[in-house]
Each structure stands twice: as structure tokens, then as C-alpha cells.
Amino acid sequence: MSGQRRLSQAISEGDGISLITPAADADAAAAAERSGAEGVVLHLNIPEVREATGLPILWRVDLAPGEALNAGADALLIAASALEDDAEHVERRWREVHDIGLECVVEVRDADELELALERLDPEIFLLAPQESGDADDPLASVLDLLPDIPAGKLAIADLEVTTPDEIAELERAGVDAVIVASHNLAGLVRAAPPEV
């Protein structure tokens, strides 16, 4: 399959919350599409995934934007935490991602990173990925706490160990646009999603 698909379009069109799943290989990406996923996430450079699916691909691979585009990426992840170390480098990378036609998803783990991302980049798509630590809040609660600080019109993807339809429903009610779920949970969660009217 060829042609770029916009991740923002895939997760904002239609009713309800979108499900995105990691893909370990081309077969997993094709299976995700058949199971109703709206996108796939790659943690490794697997070029054959682009031919296996028409879903938008979010790259969490540390590649130069041009390399990611050539390998089939539709969107590239940038961590807001990197702004604290080298904001100029991150801003250059941000511009390069946009200049070549990829979408940019900015990962934020807490309110400080969210504020920094809004101030320096003003992204359209956020990946809410709270850190887990022994004394930290529940990750689901952390996502729900961050959500009101995301300006209207921006998209929010939750990166959580979500396993139940009730958790998906809670995220949807709160206004989350998409959630990354494990592929083995996908079929049950798609079936559990409320029917489109």
C-alpha cells in the first residue's frame, strides 16, 4: 500500500475514541488493521510494515525525519522532556518534521512538560504518557488530570496499560481522542466500543 495518511485525520474522524496498537512486524500491522485499529505504533524500523497496512504509522524510532518518511512514517514522536536539555535542537527537528510533510506528536509526562511543549512548539497532537513510579498517581488518573490543560482543538492520545472497556469508556468520556492499546487487547476493546449511530 502506498500514500500517506494523516494520523490526526484517522483519530479525529468518526464517532468515539480511536484505538492505536504497537506492531512488532508487518503481520501484526495487517492484523491490527483487520481488527479495527485506527493506527499503528512502531518502536523499531520495520520497512515492510508500510506495505502491510494502510493505517497511519506513528514512529517512536530515533531516526532523522527524512529517514522516517522514507521508511513509511506518517507521524513522528518528539519527547517534550528533550526541550529541557536542548530546546534549539528539538525546535529544528520539529520544523524539519513539518517541512517534509510528517505530523509531529509530542509526548508529555506531566504538567510541566505540557506547559513547555505548548510554549515552545504548540503541537496539534499530544501523547499523554505519565511516568509510573511507586509513589506516583495512577497513570489513568494522571492522564485525566492533564487533559483539561490541553487547549481546545488539539488532539490527545493516551499511552496507558489500558485493558478494560470501562477504562476506554472513561477516557472517551473525558475527551481523549485515541489510546494506545496492546494488540492482544484490541479485538475485545473494538467490539466493546459503543456502536456508531
Q: Which residue has the higher pLDDT, 164 or 41?
A: 41
Residue 180: C-alpha distances to residues 1, 56, 98, 125, 140 (Å): 23, 13, 23, 14, 12
User: Could you tell me which residue, 103 or 137, shows the higher pLDDT?
Assistant: 103
Residues 162-188: what's their mean pLDDT?
87
User: Given this model, what pLDDT does residue 20 score?
Assistant: 95
Q: Is 62's pLDDT higher than 50?
A: yes
- Residue 196 pLDDT: 45
- DSSP assignment of 53-86 equals --S-EEE-S---HHHHHHTT-SEEEEETTHHHHH
Residue 182 has pLDDT above 90, yes or no: no
Residue 140 reports pLDDT greater than 50: yes
**pLDDT score of 183:** 75
| Domains of the chain in sequence order | 7-192 (3.20.20.70)
CB 181 within 8 A of CB 19: yes
pLDDT surpassing 50 at residue 167: yes
**pTM for the predicted model, two decimal places:** 0.90
